[in-house]
Amino acid sequence: MNRATCCAALMWVACAWSQVAAKPSEPTLTGVVTRVSDGDTLWVRPDADGQPRKPVKVRLLGIDAPERCQAGGAESTAALKSRVLRREVAVRVVGRDGYGRLLGEVRLDGQDLGAWMVREGHAWSHRRFGVADVYASEEAQARSAQRGLFGDPAAIEPRSFRRSRGNCP
């Protein structure tokens, strides 16, 4: 192994370790889902100190569901709605997205909803540099079984859909 390769490998390990080691404990909120906007966005009414609060908009971490006006969008929204509407969920908040929504891993009865949406073929695993990210194995399972979106050879990833047609009205 030459010196440049060794240095690059050490830098990669140091960066990866710093992300794990320096990661503070993320806040978790629990509450009831009051609304589902689309296949990757829902509203949660937190219940803190026994007092219900105003619902907050949450974007599911790690997935990209079809837009409402896109083929598969209504089915994706309906799937998430039937799964979580009026049910209590736990959200591990990791930050905010570009639209100001809370960004988090959402769990229903301990099950990761993002993983479920991708595994059932209702969303794509979020992509980074063109490669499936967090839920790559769930997407591979759904593709293999041709579930939902992955059974349609004409299905278009939401990012490409937005790029060519813009956002839904």
Q: How far is CA 86 from CA 45, 70, 89, in A?
A: 10, 26, 9
Burial letters 24-54, b for 16+ CB under 10 A, else e: eeeeebebbbeebbbbbbbbbbbeeeeeeee
Question: Alpha helix locations (H) across the chain?
Answer: 3-21, 73-84, 113-119, 136-145, 158-165
Residue with the two structure tokens 């990012």: 159
- Tell me which residues are annotated as active site: 59, 67, 101
The answer to whether 120 and 145 are in contact (CB under 8 A) is no
Q: How far is CA 99 from CA 8, 17, 52, 103, in A?
A: 35, 29, 24, 10
Q: Which two tokens stand for residue 99?
A: 């639209």
